[in-house]
Amino acid sequence: MPDTSLNSQVPPHVVVSDESVISNVACSNCETRLAEPQDLPIENREPCPRCGSKSRIFFVSMAGTVNIEARAAISVVPGANLLLQTLVVPGRRTSEGQLIEAVAVPWFEILERLNKDPTLAFKISPRAWEELIAGAYKAAGFDEVILTPHSGDHGRDVIAVKRGVGSVRVIDQVKAYKPGHLVTADDVRALMGVLQGDGASKGFLTTTSDFAPRLKNDPLIVPFIPSRLELINGNQLMARLQELSKKKK
Q: Give DSSP secondary structure letters for 77-97.
A: E-SSS----S-EEEEEE-SSS
CA pseudo-torsion sign 112, 115, 116, 122 = positive
Q: What is the pTM of this model?
A: 0.66
Tens of each residue's pLDDT in the chain, 249 residues:
444 333 333 333 333 334 333 346 777 666 677 788 766 766 677 877 776 777 777 654 444 444 434 343 333 334 434 444 568 888 999 999 999 999 888 888 899 999 999 999 998 989 999 999 999 999 999 999 999 998 888 899 999 999 988 899 999 999 999 999 999 999 999 999 999 999 999 999 999 999 999 898 899 999 999 999 999 999 999 999 999 887 765
Last residue within a domain, chosen from 77, 95, 119: 77
Residue 6: domain span:
1-77
Last residue within a domain, chosen from 19, 45, 77: 77
Same domain, 23 and 138: no
Same domain, 57 and 149: no
Same domain, 66 and 105: no
Same domain, 70 and 155: no
Of 191, 137, 127, 135, the C-alpha closest to 160 is 137
What letter does residue 51 receive in the DSSP assignment? T
CB atoms within 10 A of CB 23: 12
